[in-house]
Amino acid sequence: MAEPATLGTVAAVDAIKERTGGVGYLEGPRGGRPRRVLTAHNVVLYGTLLVIAAYFLLPLWVMLVTSFKTMDEIRQGNIFAPPTEFTIFPWIKAWAQACTGINCDGLSRGFWNSVYILVPSVVVSIAVASVSGYTLANWRFKGSEAIFTILILGAFIPYQVMIYPIAILLGKVGLFGSLWGLVVVHTIFGMPLNVLLFRNYFSSVPEELFKAARVDGAGFWGIFFRIMLPMSLPIFVVSMIIQITGIWNDFLFGVIYTSNERYPMTVQLNNIVNSVQGTKEYNVNMAATLLTGLVPLAVYFASGKLFVRGIAAGAVKG
């Protein structure tokens, strides 16, 4: 399949070689006219981009510099200025000592809660969504398109509409307030986007491959695990990125479906920063905020183009 293209390229190079006596490319300038770097057009273009980039970077900068300042310096200085007296104490305090209510063991509690929520939620939600997407793409049954439509429409239903009855259902099966209850909730609300993602991906796998596997005697799970899965690593990565950032960033479900002891990091962060007791320690607050943003930012910077691909794929077709 890729072969004709390769052959074509080789043939083209050969023709050029003949004409130029084996150099492999034509002498002289190729491509467009050489561009001057400093045109009025470029100055405006890059100037605009830089100004907007500054607006986007500003909050990150402010958070960073604030989190390394002492409270004295914050009271006197300019929030945009870098710290004159560099301190990492706010970070330590945010991680290990900041108080929410009676607990004063810092954000670390929320961090680990979030990790315990994140790992099973990501695994379960992706497992369910990928198998569902595979069923919808390759094993359609009567009404499967209707189910798919409902799932997609489900993405648009405000969560507030479903929160309360879900809480009742979770209570009935004894999962309310437990870690696994939250895993179920994240699986439910991760379905629309991830099922769409997987369904579209599996639909793009040539149908003949699926037919060949059936002739070869592979069944539902055989085709899924031995043919489809090895081919779909990229889409699993995309789905993982979406789920990790989404679940880590969740606030609403954490507040509703868990109890004080199990609050995820976002909830605990909000409680620390917006607590009305005591004097405000802005440096600690900003360190805590950055700590909470660290996991999704790390995922974002590490995944690069896949993150973009994930949201674009989900959004354009959604």
Partner 1 sequence: MAVTHPAEVAAPDAARVRRPSRLLRNIPAKIASIPMVLIALVIFVGCTAWTVFYSFTKSGMLPRLQFVGLDQYDRLWSTPKWWTSIENLAIYGVLSMILTMALGFFLATLLDRKVRGEDVFRTIFLYPFALSFIVTGLAWQWILNPEFGIQAVVRSLGWEGFSFDPLHSRELVIYGILIAGIWQGTGLVMCIMLAGLRGIDEDIWKAARVDGIPTWKTYTHVVIPMMRPVFVTTLVLVASGVIKLYDLVKAQTDGGPGGASEVPAKYVMDSMFGAQNLGQGFAASTMMLLSVVIILIPWAYLEFGGKKRG
Partner 2 sequence: MLAPNTSVSIRDLTLQFGAVQVLQTLNLDIRDGEFLVLLGSSGCGKSTLLNCIAGLLEPTDGQIFIKGRNVTWLEPSERGIGMVFQSYALYPQMTVRGNLSFGLRNARVPKAEIESRVARAAKVLQIEPLLDRKPAALSGGQRQRVAIGRALVRDVDVFLFDEPLSNLDAKLRADLRVELKRLHHSLDNTMIYVTHDQVEAMTLADRIAIMRNGRIMQLGTPDEIYNRPQNRYVADFIGSPSMNFVEGHLERGTFHGADLQLALDGYRFGAPQVADRPAIIGIRPEHVATGPLVDSAPIRGEVTAELVEPMGSDTLVWAQLAGKPFRIRMDGQARVSPGDRLPIGIDPAKASLFDAKTEERL
- Site for partner 2, residues 131 to 160, rule: CB under 8 A: none
Tell me the CA distances in angstroms from 138 to 150, 194, 224, 283, one per residue in order: 18, 16, 10, 54
Tell me the CA distances in angstroms from 308 to 59, 191, 237, 244, 315, one per residue in order: 22, 19, 12, 15, 10
d(CA 59, CA 297) in angstroms, rounded, equals: 14
Question: Near partner 1 by CB under 8 A, which window of 12-20, 104-112, 162-170, 201-209?
Answer: 162-170
With H, G, I as helix, E, B as strand and everything else as coil, classify residue 88. coil
Interacting residues with partner 1 between 96 and 115 (CB under 8 A)? none
End-to-end CA distance of the chain: 30
Show Cβ contacts of residue 183 under 8 Å, excluding neighbours closer than 6 positions.
117, 120, 121, 124, 125
User: Between residues 1 and 50, which has the closer beta carbon with respect to partner 1?
Assistant: 50
Contact between 208 and partner 2 by CB under 8 A: the answer reads: yes
d(CA 249, CA 266) in angstroms, rounded, equals: 7
User: Between residues 228 and 290, which has the closer beta carbon with respect to partner 2?
Assistant: 228
8 Å CB contact between 312 and 93: no
Interacting residues with partner 2 between 211 and 230 (CB under 8 A)? 211-218, 222, 226-227, 230
8 Å CB contact between 242 and 193: yes
d(CA 199, CA 195) in angstroms, rounded, equals: 6
Question: Near partner 2 by CB under 8 A, which window of 42-50, 52-60, 81-89, 205-213?
Answer: 205-213
8 Å CB contact between 69 and 283: yes
User: Between residues 3 and 85, which has the closer beta carbon with respect to partner 2?
Assistant: 3
Residue 249 binding target from partner 2, partner 1, none, CB below 5 to 8 Å by type: partner 1
Contact between 206 and partner 2 by CB under 8 A: the answer reads: yes
Interacting residues with partner 1 between 29 and 88 (CB under 8 A)? 45-46, 48-49, 52-53, 55-60, 62-63, 66, 74-75, 78-80
| Chosen residue from 99, 123, 131, 237 binding partner 1 by CB under 8 A | 131
Number of residues that bind partner 1 (CB under 8 A): 88
Residue in the structure block whose two tokens are 């398109």: 145
Question: Near partner 1 by CB under 8 A, which window of 21-29, 115-123, 147-155, 226-234?
Answer: 147-155
- Residues forming a β-bridge with 83: none
Residue 209 binding target from partner 1, partner 2, none, CB below 5 to 8 Å by type: partner 2
The CB-of-22 to partner 1 minimum distance in angstroms stands at 32
Contact between 5 and partner 2 by CB under 8 A: the answer reads: no
| Chosen residue from 25, 112, 221, 225 binding partner 1 by CB under 8 A | 221
User: Between residues 143 and 230, which has the closer beta carbon with respect to partner 2?
Assistant: 230
